[in-house]
Amino acid sequence: MAFLIAVPFLCGVINKTISNTPDFIEGKADFSNIRPDKNRAIYLSGEWLRFDGHIITENAELNGSFVQIPPSLSTLSTSDESNGCHCSYMMNIKGLDLNNAIVYIPNFAGVYQVFVNGELVTQSGSFTNSKASADMSLNAIPIQFESGKEYNIIIEVTCELMPGIYMNPVIADYSFTMQFADIAKATRSFIFGIVFFLGFFILFYSIKNHNLFSSKWLPLLCFLVAIRMMISTEGYTAFNFLFTTINYERITLLICMSTFIIKLVSLLFYSDTLDMKIGKKTFIAVALSTVLCTIITTIFPSIFFNPYYYIIIQVATLPFDIILINHLADSVARKVPYSTAYLFGYIALVSGIMIDCCYTNGLIPFASSYFMPVLFTVFILIFTNVFFDKISKIHEASLRAAELDKELHMANTAIMISQIQPHFLYNALNTIKYLIKRDPKAAEKAVISFSKYLRGNMESITQKTPIPFREELEHIKNYCDIELLRFGDKIEIIYDTEFVEFNVPSLTIQPLVENAIKHGVTKKAEGGTVKLSTKLLDDYYYVIIEDNGIGFDPQNPDYTPDDNHAHVGLSNVTNRLKTMVNAQIVIDSQIDVGTKITIKIPKGE
């Protein structure tokens, strides 16, 4: 993090070395030995003469003193200037050869106007003697600097809360400046849009998928980062239509508070995501700092407009960063998934905030406002990559789970059918065995019926997916034909199958009819009737099996009350109906009265 924060300062030194900008000593600078680059700004840093009041517009007395621009922390800390200012700054330059140039202060939060040799060339904000409204606008007239002439530059400043100029004034090519400003605003707006969209996307996806990725904190963090970009430097100029009635100096209060809020939400997010053991005292300390910052900002806003105190307040949040980075580093050491990405993401986030704070308070001497959106973009890209990687893994896990569920379902179905098929074969063969002794001709007919059943329906016997009900009905009729040969007039089978064009799992209705015959009507001396009916009602298919046999206890349906012989796969049948076609099964039985089983299958299943 320290390295990233030092990068702009290093770039500032390199920039100064390459551009060979002269030092301003006692308000004067000589550009005779310098060839300016149209694609590079000239930073007017050094000693300026500062005057109370406005020199040109108010004819203020020239009773000034030299001040350093931009000021260092040491000069800011010893300054006795009060918040708010109504002053002028002056310097003289010579030897500068630059056409189509403008003089301005990049991203300065106050109101100012620039005069070159007494002529107004630049104005930013609503400049009046009675009231100043900063809006970071830039209205400039291109001018020509000739190497053989000397130029007097005067900057008049009016601030409600700011102590004066704390950022470098610059001279730059007009076309380059306007183009750079447009690109900066477009880039900031584009990044803002991406971050805001990702915040909504993550929130929506997380809610649909049961709080994936700590949904209550990450989207909020995205929104806070987007807002920070929207209200700072070029972000404000891109979205100033939203703040037309708000002095930009007041907006900087929100920038200050956003640092505390972003770090508090970051702490909550990382704690949730990585399950880090961060003490309650740390959360309380960060929360209280955020509340305290908000209260002081509201009651004593002027304290934040001295860059020295502003930086001190921002630096006061660094201990929280150290604590969190330490926990993240520990997570990396423990090889917690994604912890390395989280660590670099947070370093990028904090570095972007600190660079922005240093730049907007003059501690970074050259334009580095693009560092914050770039580092924020790194932060968002890291988390977007992690987020979509999680989505990909969840999708893969879902597909695998679906495959396993299908395999399990097929295995369960095979087990259920294996339990049912031996029962059917045993009962059919037992009937034929009984008929061989009692009625050989009937036995012969039963063998023929059974062989036809096996030959024509063997594929359905092993079918593991739902089949048309008409095929199941053929199973039932073949089985019942065998049972009718066995019991003769003792049993009666009635078919009232109005609808047959729907699907049922194979061998589900036939075992229920079998139960009605074997454990119902045939247990009565006089026999009885089994009725199978179907109907369509209110988008549901109904299959009803009724008998007037001996009945049983519905609370213990797998056993008969007389001999404790298990019913043929009743629990397996009902489970398959529920699992494969979402059926509802109602069993109504009374002992010595009979049984009625109603199967309700949704239309389309």
pLDDT digits (tens, 9 = 90+) for 43-53: 888 889 998 88
Q: What is the pLDDT of residue 334?
A: 84
Q: Where are the beta strands (DSSP E) in 490-573?
A: 491-497, 503-504, 528-537, 540-547
pLDDT digits (tens, 9 = 90+) for 266-290: 888 887 777 667 767 777 777 787 7
The pLDDT of residue 31 is above 90: no
Please tell me the pTM assigned to this model: 0.61
Output 522-525 pairs: Cβ under 8 A, ≥24 positions apart: 522/487, 522/490, 522/491, 522/549, 523/549, 523/550, 523/560, 523/562, 524/549, 524/550
* More confidently predicted of 374 and 532: 532
Q: What is the pLDDT of residue 566?
A: 43
CATH number of the domain located at residue range(s) 20-175 in this protein: 2.60.120.260
* More confidently predicted of 299 and 56: 56
Q: What is the pLDDT of residue 107?
A: 82
Least confident of 38-42, 71-75, 212-216, 293-297: 212-216
Least confident of 27-31, 98-102, 568-572: 568-572
Give the mean pLDDT of 190-197: 87
Q: What is the pLDDT of residue 5?
A: 52
Give the mean pLDDT of 392-410: 76
Evaluate whether the domain defined by 399-602 bears CATH number 3.30.565.10: yes
Specify which residues 597 forms β-bridges with.
545, 587
Q: What is the pLDDT of residue 438?
A: 80
pLDDT digits (tens, 9 = 90+) for 412-441: 666 555 555 566 677 778 878 877 888 888
pLDDT digits (tens, 9 = 90+) for 540-557: 999 999 999 998 877 665
Indicate left, alpha or beta for 276 from its phi (over 0: left) and psi (-120 to 50: alpha). beta
Tokens found for residue 207: 């809610």
Residues in contact with 116: Cβ distance below 8 Å, sequence separation at least 6, in sequence order: 103, 143, 151, 152, 153
Give the mean pLDDT of 130-135: 64
Report yes or no: 170 and 43 within 8 Å, Cβ to Cβ.
Answer: yes
* CA-based radius of gyration for the chain: 43
Q: What is the pLDDT of residue 563?
A: 43
Report yes or no: 350 and 321 within 8 Å, Cβ to Cβ.
Answer: yes
Report how far apart, in Å, the C-alpha atoms of 353 and of each of 181, 259, 318, 347 are.
Answer: 21, 7, 11, 10
Residues in contact with 514: Cβ distance below 8 Å, sequence separation at least 6, in sequence order: 423, 424, 427, 479, 568
What's at 524, amino acid-wise?
A: K
Q: Where are the beta strands (DSSP E) in 413-485?
A: 467-468
**Torsion angle, alpha carbons of 511, 465, 461, 479, to 10:** 40
Rounded to whole angstroms, how far apart are CA atoms 101 and 143? 5
Q: What is the pLDDT of residue 165?
A: 85
* More confidently predicted of 196 and 460: 196
pLDDT confidence tier of residue 18, bands split at 50, 70 and 90? very low
What does the mean pLDDT of the chain come to?
79
The pLDDT of residue 302 is above 80: no
pLDDT confidence tier of residue 598, bands split at 50, 70 and 90? very high
Give the mean pLDDT of 374-393: 84
Give the mean pLDDT of 294-320: 71
pLDDT digits (tens, 9 = 90+) for 474-507: 878 888 888 887 788 889 999 999 888 899 988 7
pLDDT digits (tens, 9 = 90+) for 310-339: 777 777 778 878 888 888 888 888 888 888
Q: What is the pLDDT of residue 193?
A: 87
* More confidently predicted of 180 and 246: 180
